[in-house]
Amino acid sequence: MTTGQPGTGKAQPTPTGTDAETRSASASGTPAQPDRTSDAVSGKTSAPTAETTAPIAGAVTDQPRSSDGGTTGATTSGDPQPSKGGGTKEQPAGDAATGEGDGRKGSAATGGTEGGSATSDSTAKDSSPAKDGTVKASDTAKADSTAKADSAINAGKDGAPAKDGTDGGSEDVPVKGTGSGKRRWWSRGKRAGRTDGQAKPDGDTKTDEAKPDNPDRWEAFASAPEPRPSIVTRAGGAVGRFLIHEWTLATLGALALAVLMTWPTLRYPRYTLPQDYWDPSLQAWQMAWSGHILLAEPARLWQSNTFFPELWSFAFSDTLLGYAPAGMLGSGPEDAVLRYNIMFVLAHALATLGAYALARQLGAGRIGAAVAGVSYTYAPWLLAQAGHLHVLSNGGIPLALAMLARGHGWSLRHGYRPERRHDGWVYAGWLVAAWQLSLGFGIGLPFAYFLACAVIVTAVLYYARRLRTGQAVPFGRRLFLADLLGGLFFAGVGLLMAFPFFKVTELHPYAERTIDDISIFSPPASGFVTAPAESRIWGGLHEGARAALPWHPEMTLLPGFVLYALAAGGLFFSVWRLRHRLLLLAGVLVTMAFAMGTRFFDGTFTYVPLFEHLPGWNGLRTPGRLMLWTTLLLGLLAAGAVTALTDRVRELTAQRIPSWPGPWLRTATLLPLLLVAVEGLNTTPHPVVPTQPAAMRSTEGPLLVLPSNQSLDQHVMLWSTSGFPDVVNGGSGFTPRQLDDVRRVSQSFPDQTSVDYLRTLGVRSVVLLRGQVVGTPWEITIDAPVESLGISRQDVGDAVVYRL
């Protein structure tokens, strides 16, 4: 039984077996393309058919072909024909309908051999299909270039029609190829140009080497390659990644919070100072002097222009020497005030960032670390220290500890991880520690002793573990060298800073503190729950408690009730191990005992031994400032609790379906951070700085400004930043006896005794401020004649200038 083929007028035999599958596929609109490769037959070739010259109507005539003549299985829709095995259908190798292929390898009659090829061994070797059931792309490209020549030769060789009544085209029959287990499809035909009846494998002729390497026609359907980004695009991407990095966001957040929490410091930064205008004026001068003299005459750093003619006068109090680079910018009192206010805000930001970095390095989460940073910087007790920049400049302490811990690969939560060691962070940590020490010994000296103790404890634990286990804990020579060099640098900076202070105590032995001085500033236990007057939340409520304290500016030591609560919760619910929580608690209690000075059992077992035996410790007059370490440890305990809370919330929200409460629960984890920040709100006053007298800008030094006392002399120091003339005035932690003598003798100025005394000191000018003489002896003598004294008198603005 035959069926008619539309468009040809010829009849074809009805296919059976596997050939029917190909016919059914063609009838459904996806006809199989006739093949053009030759079948290698032992001594003969198959006759050409007319299908190669008269294709079926509606079939695709221009399709990619494999090197053995088979099509790649493309349909008119552009999609490959799927086989039953899920792959692409290929053309048959033998002619199962006519029975040809007797004695050939891979014929349909014999069931097929390896590769399912009807060609000779050499041809099968070159044109075998891929194992996945598809035809090689290189074979397709080769067959396409010879398709027309094969068709012409096959059509005109004998000129006789095929037995099936067609025009000599080859029949497509399926055969099963061995090896892959998939149905293979091959085509039958003749290879043109062979007279011995043997089909030549593709690629064996020299002409094959000259064939163009046509690209796969299906590449047009592949996804387009991503364009190479330009330099601008790559730079923009790098900037974007930098802006959204955790540490960038943490830095920006710390800066923004510092501006808000210290407001209105930056509202009028050239004219106002936080807290008061006495100690801040002194510290504004310190920054200005260090920057000026390091540029002009570095050897004279410690011989400042104040306290003339005293030596080592720059070491009469903490120096803020680490801020000298900022002091190199600008000149005059207004720039000094502006510089102070900027550093005041930046000190808060650095403290927040440093404590955040330390908590993160130890293993706290982001919100927990933020709680530690904010509580460390904006604890209520620090509001009473708003006029002491050297106390607020404590951010180098946690930042250096974070860098050292990271360089040594150690964290509180994960322990020692040798693979995370990095000597670069160790060097950076020691540099930051040395910079912190250069800001002043009031905060830096306890930090130095803490680092020394940490080094000793670490070395002991290292060797103890080595002896106990018999194995050397990985440390490395590079890390040891970094610690050695960094520690020596830190110690060198400390000794260089300490030398002028030792010279001062040698020249002025009365400047040393006594244990009675320490007792005056030692706070009682009630100070730990009493807030200063500058606290917006607790200031008014604790007014009665402050009245009971002898010196409340240094005795109101409340770190925050929210911080107390979070730290207490961290003892029971935390990401820290139990032994670490107990160690943090022990540190809190010990530092509190030391902060009480002589109030804790008279300091017999706490502060007094340090005062008597540790070098330099007797220069610290306010034990309450050790509360800084208590606040840091409480913050770490709180960070462990908040981190455990956020981790638990994250687990709960991940398990809930639907997760609609998730955003609300995650937002609720910010509540501890918000409460800590609110408790740190302040009502710090910002008084206007007294205006510099015009006489201070034109009078040559050395000069004396009257009236002279501790408070007014700090203004004089600030005013002297215009040109830095030598001035007798000065304010510091102690008053030199010579300055006491000058103040006593000058009470009768102008008279012969005071004029002669000032001349012996080298003083050339005296500036008497009219606005400050009310209620003083100069209120009467300011307009008295001075011709008989051999000096001159001149009114300059609101001051009177006497030239000696």
Give me the pLDDT at residue 135, please: 41
Q: How far is CA 373 from the centre of its chain?
A: 15
- Residue length, the chain? 804
- The residue type of 561 is F
Supply the DSSP symbol for 505: H
Tokens of 563: 């911080």
For the stretch 510-542, pLDDT in tens is 888 888 889 999 999 999 999 999 999 999 999
For the stretch 398-454, pLDDT in tens is 999 999 999 999 999 999 999 999 999 999 999 999 999 999 999 999 999 999 999
For the stretch 593-618, pLDDT in tens is 999 999 999 889 899 999 999 988 98
> How far is it, in rounded angstroms, from Cα 462 to Cα 489?
23
Helix (H) or strand (E) holding 662: helix 662-668
**Burial class of residue 610 in the structure, from the number of CB atoms within 10 Å of its CB (0-12 exposed, 13-18 middle, 19+ buried):** middle
Tokens of 114: 């390896």
Residue in the block written with tokens 């000191």: 761
What does pTM read for this prediction?
0.72
The pLDDT of residue 13 is above 50: no
Give me the pLDDT at residue 122, please: 37
> How far is it, in rounded angstroms, from Cα 744 to Cα 766?
15
- The residue type of 606 is T
For the stretch 614-670, pLDDT in tens is 988 988 889 999 999 999 999 999 999 999 999 998 888 777 666 566 677 778 889
For the stretch 736-752, pLDDT in tens is 999 999 999 999 899 89
> How far is it, in rounded angstroms, from Cα 361 to Cα 207?
70
Cβ neighbour number for residue 377 with a 10 Å cutoff: 31
